[in-house]
């Protein structure tokens, strides 16, 4: 059976896990944190990055973009969680690109918070937070009553939910919440009715 290495607290790991669950691809989840379980993670991912997908033959693959491509290929074009072509595909790629660039800002905010107070720069925190918030406002403006693109659940929704929940839950709760981002909050409520999302909620 395939193994997915990384904790749900890692948004990139969570997006791979949500995808596997939505596509009914069986896997063993190795809940190893890149910061805490460094040596164990390196057994599967020499650079210590998560997520890593360990395939049935023991080979491993890092980076969620490639992992998702492999998973979509396994599931086949009918089930792939991306529109196949044209304007819907472009829209999904635009929104996904935003999500994939919000999340590293959240990770950087976390990394900054690990520094001793005397070595933290308020301007760095503010700059990272500003970029993440600008990013989140983009899907917020495009969210309607259903899923983001043609009301069909796609990678754009997965990454929007992952980014919103991490921001609202523990990285930027004063700025990112249901009051300031009501449509993204509602999108998350819809997602949380689905086991793939509800069973992968990150915990600090
Ligand atoms: N582009 C990568 C980013 C993965 C990433 O940055 N993962 C973080 C955890 S969220 C990590 O491995 N951090 C440990 C490190 O960079 O040493 C992906 O999409 O998988």
- DSSP string for residues in 18-84: HHHHHTT--EEEE---TTTSHHHHHHH-TT--S-EEE-TTS-EEESHHHHHHHHHHHH-TTT-SS--
Model pLDDT, residue 188: 98
Which atom of ligand 1 lies at the shortest distance from residue 50's CA? 12
Torsions phi, psi for 50 (to 5 deg):
-125, 150
Domains of the chain: 2-75 (3.40.30.10), 86-198 (1.20.1050.10)
* Residue 21 CA: distances (Å) to CA of 12, 58, 75, 84, 155: 14, 21, 11, 20, 13
Identify the CA nearest to 14 among candidates 165, 185, 173: 165
- Is the overall model pTM greater than 0.85, yes or no? yes
Residue 204 has pLDDT above 80, yes or no: no
Ligand 1: residue whose CA is nearest its atom 11: 49
Ligand 1: residue whose CA is nearest its atom 7: 50
Instruction: Please tell me the distance from the alpha carbon of residue 107 to that of residue 182, in angstroms, as a whole number.
Output: 23
Instruction: Please tell me the distance from the alpha carbon of residue 43 to that of residue 163, in angstroms, as a whole number.
Output: 28
- SS3 of 3, please? strand
Ligand 1: residue whose CA is nearest its atom 1: 63
- Name residues contacting ligand 1 (CB within 6 A): 10-12, 34, 48-51, 63-65, 107
Which atom of ligand 1 lies at the shortest distance from residue 67's CA? 20
Mean pLDDT in residue range 11-23: 98
Ligand 1 midpoint to CA 62 (Å): 9
Query: Residue 2 forms beta bridges with which residues?
Result: 27
Model pLDDT, residue 96: 98
pLDDT band at 199 (very low <50, low <70, confident <90, very high): very high
Q: What digits encode the pLDDT tens for the residues 43-83?
A: 999 999 999 999 999 999 999 999 999 999 999 999 999 99
Identify the CA nearest to 149 among candidates 70, 90, 74: 90
Model pLDDT, residue 15: 98
DSSP 9: T
**Sign, Cα dihedral of 88, 98, 31, 165:** negative
């Amino acid at each position: 059976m395939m193994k997915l290495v990384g904790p749900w607290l890692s948004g990139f790991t969570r997006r791979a896990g949500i995808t596997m669950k939505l596509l009914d691809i069986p896997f063993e989840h190795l809940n190893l944190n890149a910061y805490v379980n460094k040596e164990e993670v390196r057994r599967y991912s020499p650079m210590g990055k998560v997520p890593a997908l360990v395939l049935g033959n023991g080979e491993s693959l890092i980076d969620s973009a490639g992992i998702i491509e492999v998973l979509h290929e396994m599931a086949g074009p009918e089930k792939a969680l991306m529109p196949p072509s044209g304007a819907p595909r472009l829209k999904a790629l635009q929104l996904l690109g935003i999500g994939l660039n919000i999340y590293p800002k959240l990770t950087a905010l976390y990394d900054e918070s690990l520094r001793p107070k005397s070595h933290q720069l308020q301007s760095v925190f503010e700059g990272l937070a500003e970029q993440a918030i600008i990013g989140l406002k983009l899907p917020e403006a495009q969210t309607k009553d259903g899923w983001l693109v043609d009301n069909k659940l796609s990678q754009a929704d997965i990454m929007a939910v992952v980014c919103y929940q991490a921001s609202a839950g523990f990285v930027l709760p004063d700025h990112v919440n249901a009051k300031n981002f009501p449509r993204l909050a509602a999108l998350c409520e819809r997602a949380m009715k689905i086991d793939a999302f509800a069973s992968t909620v990150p915990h600090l």
